[in-house]
Structure 1
């Protein structure tokens, strides 16, 4: 080995599995890279390489948390921006309607009739609409909901797809005539 090539070699930092003391190896899965035990499947220890941390963008001193009284903050998390309590994890208050534009139409959930449909964004950045009573009510739509009733089955909600309206009931899905 020459002196120049020794400059470019990095020392191997072998981490050992805390369960079986075998070396950990970098592996790839559906959620990205991770460290896994080299003795797999005998040992199934895994460790994430990247933690999804939430960072505070701005503290809102004039806004108090309704649960604990501490200040609220604009935070950036795994799924984007949101408003939450600065005393997390002791207080887990989060404002769910932060992304909703002013004057947005609020539609009642057709399944539980108690919650309202709110627009949300999944981890891939795609919008969907779900019941505000989640997890009690798991009603959700991938397309924008519109007020109206289906002419075929009478379901009390329609969805807009490519400038046409369809029944929001997944069992029906009938195209509605243009009024």
Structure 2
């Protein structure tokens, strides 16, 4: 490993808070992604972070669902307007409308028989055919 690897490397992705570039940095506990505007903007996340999905939040209608990791290491998807909107789901979201109840979000569920889409609305029992 060379010494220039320790220098922050620009990722060409804007920071979700301040729109400056995000950088890949090396810290005491390994690699992480942080804003180039530090200390004015203290945004940071894990190096293997998925910046988000194309699925809008069905509750607040203004946020997007982004992948997060719980304190136990499990992945989930939550609205990026978190303290205002607390919507979250455990399965990967797909930006499609449910044909049964018209809910604006479906979830991708993997089963032993194959992969199918299910409705994110708890009161709807829609399941697509196996793929």
State TM-score, norm by structure 1: 0.49
Per-residue deviation, 1:121:
1.0
- Change in CA separation of 1:128 and 1:62 when aligned onto 2, cut-off 3 Å: closer
Q: Is the 8 A contact 1:74 1:84 kept in 2?
A: no
How many residues get paired? 114
Whole-Å separation in 1 of the counterparts to 2:125 and 2:31: 34
**With CA pairs under 8 Å and 6+ residues apart, which has the higher RCO, 1 or 2?**
2
Name the structure 2 match of 1:174: 126
Is the counterpart of residue 135 in structure 1 residue 83 in structure 2? yes
Show the counterpart of 2:103.
Answer: 155
Return the alpha-carbon distance in structure 1 between the equivalents of residues 83 and 61 of structure 2.
Answer: 14
Whichever of the two has the greater Rg, that structure is: 1
Unaligned 5+ runs, structure 2:
1-5
The root-mean-square deviation of aligned C-alpha atoms, in Å, is 3.7
For 2:85 and 2:7, how far apart are their aligned partners in 1?
Answer: 32
- Check the 8 A contact 1:129/1:144 in 2, yes or no: yes
Q: Which runs of 5+ in 1 are unaligned?
A: 1-57
Distance across 2 between alignment mates of 1:60 and 1:142: 32
Secondary structure of 2:65's partner? strand
